[in-house]
Structure 1
Amino acid sequence: MASAQKHSPVRHSPDIQSFMRLLEARGELVRVSVPVDRDLEITEIADRLVKKGGPAVLFENVKGSDFPLVIGLLGTRQRTALALGVSDLDDLAAKVRHLIDLKGGGGLGGLLGNVGKLRDAMNLPPRRVRSGPAQEIVWTGDEVDLARLPILKCWPLDGGPFVTLPLVITRDPETGERNMGMYRMQVMGKNVTGMHWQRHKTGTKHLEKARRLGKRLPVAVAIGGDPALIYAATAPLPPIPGLDEFALAGYLRGQRSPVMKGVTVDLDVPANAEFILEGYVDPQEDWAVEGPFGDHTGFYTLPDLYPRFHVTAITMRRDPVYPATIVGRPPMEDAYLIEASERLFLPAAQMILPEIVDYHMPPAGVAHNLVVVSIRKTYPGQAYKVANGLFGLGQMMFAKVVVVVDEAVPVNDFAAVWREVTAKAVPGRDTLTTRGPTDVLDHSSRGWGYGGKLILDATTKLPEEVGSAASSREDQGKEGAVEPLFVPHTSTDLPDFGGVLAQRQTADGYWVVALHKTRPGQAQALAEAFATHPAASGIRHLLIADEQTDVQNMQDVWWTLLNNIDPERDVRQVGPLLVWDGARKLPEEGFVRAWPPKIEMTPEVQRRVEARWHLYGLPEQAR
């Protein structure tokens, strides 16, 4: 073999293996020694664990690979905080607020007051080292074979195995600016993967510049390293000169991230990673069909064309561990990464929109589909000002539904937020649709990366807002009215409409149905029929979900609806109701794209895992 070995003078810095030892000492990591299959079995185990708050797992014996696999390292709020070096994720906001609140006056005393903060900022740039553990073993040429790594096939309809925790590193061919992002990578051969660079991503911009210059784009993919760096690769960083993912990890960690030059690419790579994949993307090459992939939305992303990444070398530690994650129906591990970003960027949002008290992106909204924001309200229309301001903040441009509530409402209390909506957001008066960029993974939008948005003003109304001409209810125009009288009601006489497989009314004003849709316009007909039915008394929202939805589970209901609507097309007022049409859209209704299936594990794999659970040595309560 042509493998080379290097010594590692790099001094200790946090990495995956030290984090694993910490979790194991705390009883939050379990070793599984029996053989497990990387094709679906690990996914089923990990899915059960993350939904029950179970431990991380080190699979020591993965069939077909010589390397162990660890999953679920960030699978709880507390583990994510631990990975980022804080006792609680709320501490991230305080840490950033401390840094950006620099003292500007007070002469010499004021300047000296900033010294400690500037010392913190000095931890931002990465630290260059000559070598590190990630290059102790080097594979090149015929040795490069991705099948030797325990890369997961996560879900039954996936197009193949996917690298799910890659830290993809590129450099702007013109400016030299570095970028690290997390983009899934489908294995397409022993040394080829797809590179899921969506149109809004920095990697796509770098590739386009390389195309114009007639050059290949060098790429390095780190697997593992400092857990803070893994988080940083997912963070929606603002465009601030000198602030990149290495800098963010350095600030969070309180020490500079060690980096070294790649073996075959002129790129900085994390010196303490488990594996590094080095290679290139050729912008002149035809793109390859990538997918399907069971995505973080809980639906499959259907096949599409993406660039190919050619792997020219694989470097690794002497005894590496392959870290992985899975995404799918929420809640999943990525929910805690999203929450970390919420906490981290709250102070920046408050600098721009100072009336913001807090905000939250609930797991049911899979990040961009739902943002709840609480504000200190002092003037009419302020809710719309804040919502539109959020649409202009970085990746918040992808938000689909924004709910604005009063400052006393806890934004992470899902049920309380929706009670506020029925109590204070009158359909037609306090709802506003607009349009803009959407996540390209949104299967329901009117166009690829472009669709409708909805603002729900669930704040207490001021007199000027109650008298709005947009009011659609008789009691809104009465002189002196400040807030409409809303008396929720639950009917015991639920109407029987065709195609409704299950239904229920809630005490806080929602009628939820699971609709088996078989014809165009069926949801609209259902809405019109219900709007005039006596059972509609006291109902403000008609939620039409698909036939797979559990109407007793509001998390499942809202997850389905938020994925399946383009608000401009599918959220509309019918009489006194706001109707949310989350049923499948048909070609006859003008929807020309394929409608993706929800992610589900096969019954055979579920039965196999159930039968083998006692062999894994995992907690029974997480079964």
Structure 2
Amino acid sequence: MTRDLRGFIKQLEQRGQLRRITALVDPDLEIAEIAQRMLQKGGPALLFENVKGSPYPVAVNVMGTVERVCWAMNLDQPAELEALGKKLALLYQPRPPKTVPQAIALGQALFDVLKAKPSRDLLPPCHQVVLKGDEVDLTQLPLLKVYPDDANKVVTLGLMITKDCENKTINVGVYRLQLQSKNTMTVQWLSVRGATRHLRKAAERGQKLEVAIALGVDPLLIMAAATPLPIDLSEWLFAGLYAGEGVHLAKCKTVDLQVPADAEIVLEGTITPGETGVDGPAGDHMGFYGGVNEAAPLIRFHCMTHRKNPIYLTTFSGRPPKEDAMMALALNRIYTPILRQQVPEIVDFFLPMETLSYKTAILAIDKAYPGHARRAALAFWSALPQFTYTKFVIVVDKDINIRDPRAVVWAIASKVDPARDVFILPETPFDSLDFATEKAGLGGRMGIDATTKIPPETDRVWNTPLESDPDTAAMVDRRWAQYGLADLNLGEVNPNLFGYDMR
């Protein structure tokens, strides 16, 4: 399969996971409404071929299921995600191997890094059409307006590439851009992101920050940009590890940056430190309109290149489920081995989609000593940059199914004394888009110890939990058909029987 957006779209169509829409559709609200309904039902990707006001088709919902996210990463099923995470964990903080199998595994991982080295494409498809200066007109792109009160149209799945002016390291990130004029956009990002550090360094030197935005890239590159990186390992190498081969890059026409050679559209521009625009409101992942930022960095674009007949890939944020939630579920599995290496007592962890895929973490630990749950929660918050803005951490015993909300709620209800087992860290750095906090960018975090308590955490004897007699349970399994119940699938529990609807 060709490692680009077109190759992936072809794969989806061959597997019956793409629907082409030939009817005329409006990028203002209509496309998002159609895609939203499809996302809610776990439906196929959509390719809108007749978009009002633009000659370019729009692809959306491409990674709208975990299964399709796995396909984008060259995997057949979600179970393989953790194996990929183990390979990445070896590179995250390499340690001297103590056994022959460990040495072989580390050697294989390093060999995979060598294979993943990027290559240069001298005649890249992304340069088939080149527009400069006044020819650049962003309004010709089929940018979406997603919600009625959005201030303007947005770009959501573009890879932003920037370079550190001191050590020349590259950062590849995914940030929301909002249209300001035919050749300018504002960018919405968090202060901890790599591109913001690059802008601060450029400002200290009195320089402009060069920026390239790659639109319509191989979805695998988007996943690589969203993964926590080992020190000194670039996003391009990481993407090569995902793909099993190096990423083909092309040198930009007007800035000293490289972009994916097979990108559908590339925008080249600069940010002048101190030059800003008014960004927002815009629908955000929290499920509300984001606030107005009157000092958002302004990008001035002076060059646009694209393939012949380019496809515009996009998505949108909002209350889950959305595409970013599906991507987060996949990344959750990849993070697990990396997190275990940082915090070995963690057996498993889960970031529920319903809590915006990062606001609440559930940790299962192999508890060994008093205070272990609190230590695990504190270690989690500092393990990876992605967990800086996790608001709630719930720690349970390793025998709790952390992906079953009934099991987790039972653990909280039966094992937590709020006075003893809930702790709060006040005024920590926080997500400025979280309106629940009293101060923007500053908020509290809560840890909940829902593990079985041991002395001196408690002086009371903790009685044995209720379980079925194993011999009787085995007998009932053997005789299930004899009871005349073979046609009942008890693995599928009707949630309405328990007073809630999980539709």
TM-score, normalising length: structure 1: 0.71
Aligned to 1:302: 291
The answer as to whether partners of 2:291 and 2:433 remain within 8 angstroms in 1 is: no
Give, in whole Å, the separation in 2 of the partners of 1:156 and 1:89.
36
Distance 1:96 1:334 in 2: 19
Match for residue 481 of structure 1 among 431, 454, 461: 461
- Residue 43 of structure 1 corresponds to 32
Mapped partners of 2:189, 2:99: distance in 1: 48
Give the alignment of 1:207-606 within 5 angstroms: 207-238=199-230, 240-241=231-232, 243-285=233-275, 287-304=276-293, 305-393=295-383, 394-435=385-426, 436-467=428-459, 480-482=460-462
- CA pair 483-328 structure 1, distance change in 2 beyond 3 A: farther
List per-residue Cα deviations over 1:56-110 (Å, max 9, x = no partner): 0000001000000000010001000110111223322212324555883568x98
Decide whether aligned partners of structure 1 residues 388 and 103 sit closer, same or farther in structure 2, where only a CA change above 3 A counts.
closer
Which residue pairs with 1:606 in the alignment? none
CA distance in 1, matches of 2:442, 2:336: 26
Query: Secondary structure of 1:453's partner?
Result: strand
1:193 match: secondary structure = strand
Matched, 1:65 2:76: no
- Does the 8 A contact of 1:58 with 1:68 survive in 2? yes
Judged with a 3 Å threshold, the aligned counterparts in structure 2 of structure 1 residues 316 and 377 are, in CA distance, closer, same or farther, namely same
Corresponding residue of 1:190: 182
Q: Which amino acid aligns with 1:210?
A: A
Secondary structure (helix, strand or coil) at the match of 1:87 reads coil
C-alpha deviation, 1:293, in angstroms: 1.0
Contact 1:350-1:356 within 8 A present in 2 as well: yes
In the alignment, the residues of structure 1 paired with residue 116 and residue 346 of structure 2 have an alpha-carbon distance, to the nearest angstrom, of 28
User: How far apart are 1:409 and its partner, in Å?
Assistant: 1.6
Would you say the 8 A contact 2:116–2:237 is kept in 1?
yes
Change in Cα spacing, 1:385 to 1:293, as seen in structure 2 (3 Å) is same
- In structure 1, the residue matched to 2:143 is 151
The amino acid that maps onto 1:461 is: K
How far apart, CA to CA, are the structure 2 residues paired with 1:439 and 1:135?
Answer: 38
CA contact (8 A) 1:368 1:439 kept: no
Unaligned runs of 5+ in 1: 1-11, 468-479, 487-551, 557-623
Alignment deviations for residues 161-193 of structure 1 (CA, whole Å, 9 cap, x no partner): 001111000000111000011110000000000
CA distance in 2, matches of 1:443, 1:246: 35
Contact 1:193 1:309 in 2 (8 A): yes
1:6-21 alignment, distance < 5 Å: 13-21=2-10
Which of 88, 100, 114 aligns to 1:122? It is 114
Instruction: Classify the secondary structure of the residue corresponding to 1:464.
Output: coil
Give secondary structure in 2 for the equivalent of 1:398.
coil
- State whether residues 207 and 272 of structure 2, in contact with CA within 8 Å, keep that contact through their aligned partners in structure 1: yes
| Structure exhibiting the larger radius of gyration computed from Cα positions | 1
Partner deviation per Cα, 1:394-435 (whole Å, 9 max, x = no partner): 221211000111112222222321222112112212111113
Distance 1:245 1:116 in 2: 19
Question: Is 2:173 the counterpart of 1:181?
Answer: yes
**Distance in 2 separating the partners of 1:246 and 1:273:** 14
- Of 5, 8, 13, the match for 1:24: 13
Q: Distance in 2 between matches of 1:462 and 1:87?
A: 43
- Match for 2:182: what amino acid? K
* Aligned partners of 1:463 and 1:482 also within 8 Å: no
Contact 1:372 1:411 in 2 (8 A): yes
Secondary structure of 2:328's aligned partner: helix
Partners of 1:333 and 1:244 lie apart in 2 by 24
What's the CA shift for 1:218? 0.6
- State the shift of 1:246 in Å: 1.2
Distance in 2 between residues matched to 1:55 and 1:150, nearest whole Å: 21
1:104 is matched with which residue?
Answer: 97
CA shift, 1:302, in A, is 1.0
Note if contact 1:225-1:272 (Cα within 8 Å) is conserved in structure 2: yes
Equivalent residue, structure 2, for 1:74:
63
Q: Decide which moves more: 419-428 or 211-220.
A: 419-428
Unmatched tracts of structure 2, length 5 or more: 467-498
Shift of 1:554: 7.9
Per the normalisation by structure 2, the TM-score is: 0.88
- For 2:105 and 2:193, the matched residues in 1 are separated by 38
User: What is the match of residue 81 of structure 2?
Assistant: 92
Amino acid at match of 1:41: E
Q: 1:235 to 1:143 in 2, by over 3 A?
A: same
Q: Distance in 2 between matches of 1:48 and 1:146?
A: 28
Counting aligned pairs with the same residue, the percent is 39
Give yes or no for contact 1:446–1:452 (8 Å, CA) kept in 2: no
